[in-house]
């Protein structure tokens, strides 16, 4: 049965996903990062997807490698997706939430996200995908995590087009937002019933000293930037408005985005307890520095509440998991679902929960590292990649039994949404 948004516990969307970062471009000192290739998903997709159904997944965040399906401008190669998507939907009965953009552009798109043609190119690709798969796919993520994308591509110069600083960050962010707006329009023109799940990386910034309180507030507001731009909330009285102007963004450019504003159908929030909370402190020179804190994720509820208060739209936990021992991961699964149940009882409209990723992923540090692939394997999910040649590819973790217990009794696990 297709997934739907209702307050009833039996309709709650239990989801997972396969890590699908695609940054194929290389340069001296940088390796290609294609998660599907590195974990063998291109070859073993049937096995991988069958395990999703086996543990009771209702929906799967699954990405399309744009650089592979459009190897030349306007020329599409659907041979692989023509096998995978019908298998996922028709044979397994799992609803895909298609990540059209999970980082990375085709080789032929010069300067990638900074290319002035990027917004239209990505929209054209989205329209071509929807035209081919509208009978199978209804749920889409136009672009995963604009903030992280802008940080890695525009601020830290780690991914193409390798820009730096606030100007680079904002140049990429505005391009991504324009691309999302055009992508949504393109998808809706093909299938007006298509559902958009807009996904952003969320985080908590806390001041470690009273002098840094204003700085922490600005950093927290940056987490809202993509959604504020998309929904027309970015007006002249916005806390970050002058920051954008001082970094070369014109009022006319912002007005153009505001005039194209959209409504958020489903807001996806990604939160990881070990990475998503930062304390801002002074270094020895008095400059602000960031330290990861609160690895137990105790700020999760207040963070979700802040998005609910700001936007008032349906919410979906689109990524969460924990790094560490089986005990650590089990505790976070239990604690985070308890938080979801509590929030639903208080009319915070959370309709789905995604333990992400389903399988071992490759740490992004692999791209700039030198060690063998096995040194970068990151276990967050239900299955761990086996290192033994004569063993099955995936090794089940104890999380699976706990997960299945939760989804078997959703009334106990997440309760009824009080509206």
pTM above 0.85, yes or no: yes
The DSSP letter of residue 389 is T
What pLDDT score does 276 carry? Answer: 84
For residue 349, the SS3 value is coil
Is the model's pLDDT at 211 over the cut of 90?
Answer: no
The predicted model gives 85-110 an average pLDDT of: 97
pLDDT of residue 274: 86
Q: For residue 381, give the 3-state DSSP assignment.
A: coil
- For the residues 38-57, what does the mean pLDDT come to? 97
Q: What is the SS3 assignment for 204?
A: strand
Is 1 a residue whose pLDDT tops 80?
no
Cα separation, 158 vs 364, in Å, equals 10
Average per-residue pLDDT for the chain = 95
Where do the structural domains in the chain lie, given as residue ranges?
9-413
Query: What is residue 63's predicted lDDT score, i.e. its pLDDT?
Result: 98
Q: What is the pLDDT of residues 158-202, one digit of tens each?
A: 999 999 999 999 999 999 999 999 999 999 999 999 999 999 999
| Beta carbons of 134 and 187 less than 8 angstroms apart | no
Is residue 418 within 8 Å of residue 345, measured between CB atoms? Answer: yes
Q: According to DSSP H, which parts of 40-155 are helical? A: 41-54, 66-69, 81-86, 118-133, 146-150
| Mean pLDDT within 92-111 | 97
What's the pLDDT at 305? 97
Q: What is the pLDDT of residue 287?
A: 81
Grade residue 47 by pLDDT with cuts at 50, 70 and 90.
Answer: very high
Whole-number pLDDT of residue 284: 81
Mean pLDDT of the region 364-369 = 97
Task: Quote the pLDDT of residue 301.
Answer: 97
Residue 199 CA to residue 263 CA, distance in Å, equals 14
Query: How far is it, in rounded angstroms, from Cα 246 to Cα 232?
Result: 20
Q: Residue 206: is its pLDDT beyond 90?
A: no
Token readout for 194 is 């298509």
State how far the Cα of 231 lies from the Cα of 181, in Å rounded to an integer. Answer: 10
Average pLDDT of the segment spanning 3-20: 97
Which CATH number describes the domain made up of 9-413? Answer: 3.20.20.80
Region 70-95: mean pLDDT is 98
Q: Select the more confidently predicted residue: 400 or 204.
A: 400
- Ranges of H-type helices in 213-250: 213-222, 225-230, 241-246
> Residues 284-307: pLDDT tens digits?
887 888 888 877 889 999 999 999
Per-residue pLDDT at 209 exceeds 70: yes
In the predicted model, what is the mean pLDDT of residues 248-276? 95
Q: What percent of the chain has pLDDT over 70?
A: 100
Question: Strand 350-355 to strand 13-17: parallel, antiparallel, or no bridges (unpaired)?
Answer: parallel
Q: What is the pLDDT of residue 17?
A: 98
Spatial CB neighbours of 200, under 8 Å, sequence gap ≥ 6: 145, 146, 147, 223, 226, 227, 267, 268, 269, 270
């Amino acid at each position: 049965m297709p997934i739907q948004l209702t307050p009833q516990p039996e309709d709650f969307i239990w989801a997972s996903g396969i890590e699908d970062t695609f940054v194929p471009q290389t340069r001296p000192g940088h390796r290609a990062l294609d998660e599907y290739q590195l974990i063998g998903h291109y070859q073993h997709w049937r096995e991988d997807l069958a395990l999703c159904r086996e543990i009771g997944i209702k929906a799967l965040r699954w990405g399309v490698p744009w650089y592979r399906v459009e190897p030349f401008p306007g020329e599409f190669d659907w041979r692989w997706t023509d096998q995978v998507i019908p298998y996922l939907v028709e044979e397994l009965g799992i609803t895909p939430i298609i990540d059209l953009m999970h980082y990375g552009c085709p080789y032929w798109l010069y300067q990638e996200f900074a290319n002035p043609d990027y917004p239209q190119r990505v929209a054209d690709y989205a329209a071509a995908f929807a035209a081919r798969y509208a009978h199978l796919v209804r749920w889409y993520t136009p672009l995963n995590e604009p903030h992280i994308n802008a940080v890695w591509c525009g601020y830290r110069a780690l991914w193409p087009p390798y820009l730096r600083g606030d100007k680079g960050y904002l140049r990429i962010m505005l391009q991504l937002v324009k691309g999302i707006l055009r992508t949504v329009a393109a998808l809706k023109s093909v299938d007006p019933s298509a559902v958009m799940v807009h996904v952003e990386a969320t985080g908590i910034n806390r001041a470690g000293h009273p002098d840094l309180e204003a700085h922490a507030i600005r950093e927290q507001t940056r987490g809202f930037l993509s959604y504020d731009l998309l929904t027309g909330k970015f007006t002249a009285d916005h806390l970050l408005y002058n920051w954008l102007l001082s970094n070369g963004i014109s009022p006319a450019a912002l007005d153009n985005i505001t005039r194209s504003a959209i409504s958020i159908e489903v807001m996806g929030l990604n939160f990881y307890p070990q990475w998503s909370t930062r304390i801002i402190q002074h270094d020895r020179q008095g400059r602000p520095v960031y330290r990861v804190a609160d690895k137990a994720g105790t700020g999760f509820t207040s963070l979700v509440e802040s998005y609910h208060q700001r936007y008032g739209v349906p919410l979906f936990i689109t990524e969460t998991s924990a790094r560490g021992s089986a005990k650590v991961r089990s505790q976070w699964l239990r604690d985070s679902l308890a938080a979801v149940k509590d929030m639903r009882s208080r009319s915070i409209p959370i309709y789905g929960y995604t333990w992400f990723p389903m399988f071992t992923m490759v740490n992004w540090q692999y791209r700039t590292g030198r060690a063998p692939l096995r040194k970068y394997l990151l276990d967050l999910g239900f299955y761990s990649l086996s290192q033994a040649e004569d063993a099955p590819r995936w090794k089940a973790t104890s999380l699976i039994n706990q997960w299945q217990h939760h989804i078997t009794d959703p009334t106990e696990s997440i309760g009824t949404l009080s509206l």
